[in-house]
Structure 1
Amino acid sequence: MATALGSPKEEQQCRIGGGGGGGAVQAIAMLGATAVTAQAAYRARRVPWDLTFVLFAYATLGLLFLCLSMYERLPPPEQEEENGDDDDDDGAVVRRRLKMAVWALSTALSVAFAWRVAAVMPAPALKAAVWGMTSTVVVAGFYVLFVYRPAAISSYSELDTCKEEETLPKLNQIL
């Protein structure tokens, strides 16, 4: 299979993170989150519920980053079919489990933050608004990850951002 980028290795690097720079961005993001968490944990050290919230949010965010990076490293579904990896569709099972983990972790973070924000809202209507927005985000996330299937896209490779010339006509067709 010939590609505009040259080798399949170059295409995979482009898909995973622009030549390997994605890992550095994630590491910097986690270092920033660690610094902010350490500062917040220090300030909350005398209030157990606040400290628990800070540590829960940090652990959940770390797990979310881990699941997302694992998902990004999976080959596209079409590539699994081309390589003959049809043993009970293990790639699809892993992909589905990682999607479930990402949704569960993002839901847990959303609910935790909504709980904290709603606790400081002065009016019941504002508390209801916070919970309503959080519920909308959770349900929309579930819909996008598990229910919605775009019909106009025939394969993941057509939406590969590294193939801009091939992608733009397909995206214009969708819009």
Structure 2
Amino acid sequence: MAEFSWLTVLGFMFLTFNSGMAIYRSNGDTGSILFVGVSYLDLVALFACLRIYEGLDQHSPRRGRVKAAVWALTTLLTVMFSYKVAEIMPLVVKLIVWAMATATTCGGFYAFFIHEEKQPQYMAVPAAAKTPADRHDGST
């Protein structure tokens, strides 16, 4: 794996500082401390999983498990932040927030696990359609 860049280190320092300040300013509210702590740990785990995923071979058996972990961590963040936002909204807006969270979660599941990337039709050229000049094996 490649080493961390200074920008990555700076970003994590900023995230850690802001999380620490949010906990400090929570005035001992257990719910707020838990929210900030779990969000922080979730983000760190998400970034670690993404880094691992990028480093895996295309055909690695671990790829599916890491992809599932990424989806689960993003879903947890989506649900947590949706709960916090919906908590202070009127009923109609709460329904919209939860509908968007559901659509995001389901869309992510579809994109990660169901949708298969297909090669465009114009890219697939049958071997018989190639002219002799296109062949590199020396045959005519």
Could you state the TM-score of these two structures normalised by the residue count of structure 2?
0.79
Aligned to 2:98: 131
Given that 1:37 and 1:58 are in contact with CA atoms closer than 8 Å, whether structure 2 keeps it comes out as yes
Q: For structure 1, which runs of at least 5 residues remain unmatched after alignment?
A: 1-15, 78-90, 154-175
Runs of 4+ aligned residues of structure 1 deviating over 4 Å after TM superposition are none
Q: Provide the C-alpha distance between the structure 2 equivalents of 1:100 and 1:66, rounded to a whole number of angstroms.
A: 13
User: Where in structure 2 are the equivalents of 1:60-139 lying within 5 Å?
Assistant: 60-77=42-59, 91=60, 93-121=61-89, 123-139=90-106
Q: In the alignment, does 2:21 pair up with 1:39? A: yes
Aligned to 1:150: 117
Count of aligned residue pairs for this structure pair? 119
Q: For structure 2, which runs of at least 5 residues remain unmatched after alignment?
A: 121-140
Given that 1:110 and 1:134 are in contact with CA atoms closer than 8 Å, whether structure 2 keeps it comes out as yes
| Aligned amino acid, residue 114 of structure 2 | V
Given that 1:45 and 1:51 are in contact with CA atoms closer than 8 Å, whether structure 2 keeps it comes out as no
| Offset at residue 45 of structure 1 (A) | 3.8
The CA RMSD measured in Å over matched residues stands at: 1.6
- Provide the identity percentage: 32
- Where 2:117 maps in the other structure, the secondary structure is coil
Could you state the TM-score of these two structures normalised by the residue count of structure 1?
0.64
Q: Provide the C-alpha distance between the structure 2 equivalents of 1:36 and 1:146, rounded to a whole number of angstroms.
A: 34
| Offset at residue 150 of structure 1 (A) | 1.5
- Where 2:40 maps in the other structure, the secondary structure is helix
| Offset at residue 44 of structure 1 (A) | 1.1
- Where 2:75 maps in the other structure, the secondary structure is helix
| Aligned amino acid, residue 97 of structure 1 | R
Q: Provide the C-alpha distance between the structure 2 equivalents of 1:45 and 1:100, rounded to a whole number of angstroms.
A: 36
| Aligned amino acid, residue 131 of structure 1 | W
| Aligned amino acid, residue 99 of structure 1 | K
